[in-house]
Chain A
Amino acid sequence: DTAVSQTPKYLVTQMGNDKSIKCEQNLGHDTMYWYKQDSKKFLKIMFSYNNKELIINETVPNRFSPKSPDKAHLNLHINSLELGDSAVYFCASSQVGGSGKADTQYFGPGTRLTVL
């Protein structure tokens, strides 16, 4: 009964390839997020979707494209992978609701991406 799940857990690929990471939450939340954690453990928001609408789009290369087919899913597609994309990518979700007050974020287990 995993609340926030990600696939795959590990992803090893060559430079220049295109890859996707999938995220699903079964908490009934209306907002989902992608974070990147670098080798020094620093976490930075990349994107957020609320009710399938993009609400946060931080300064990331446009090779990264999030897609939210429904409220329970937020996928991350990365084109033309580069060495610097190697990191752990975390998906998270929270319930915001009509008040605009965001509740606690719940994180997935992470996807460790290694670009060779």
Chain B
Amino acid sequence: RKEVEQDPGPFNVPEGATVAFNCTYSNSASQSFFWYRQDCRKEPKLLMSVYSSGNEDGRFTAQLNRASQYISLLIRDSKLSDSATYLCVVPRNQAGTALIFGKGTTLSVSS
């Protein structure tokens, strides 16, 4: 099983739609999780951190299911500017230094 696995998509949705991405991780001892956003040919940027059951920031909600070892990212009321690749990221160990990245899920929001 890969350390971090994501559905690559692409997800093509109209503006205003709600879209959800899932990510599974293999290390059951993982305590923290991140969603990064990466625009085309740009660097990854932190979108949200998830330390307990979930986190909400405006239109974005991240949820954690430890029993099933998956994290989800829900985007409500999608905007054109949400078009990007969303990377699921898990620290490799408790020290939390090396980050393990999923391949990313591509979202395209159209008008």
Are the chains A and B members of one assembly?
no
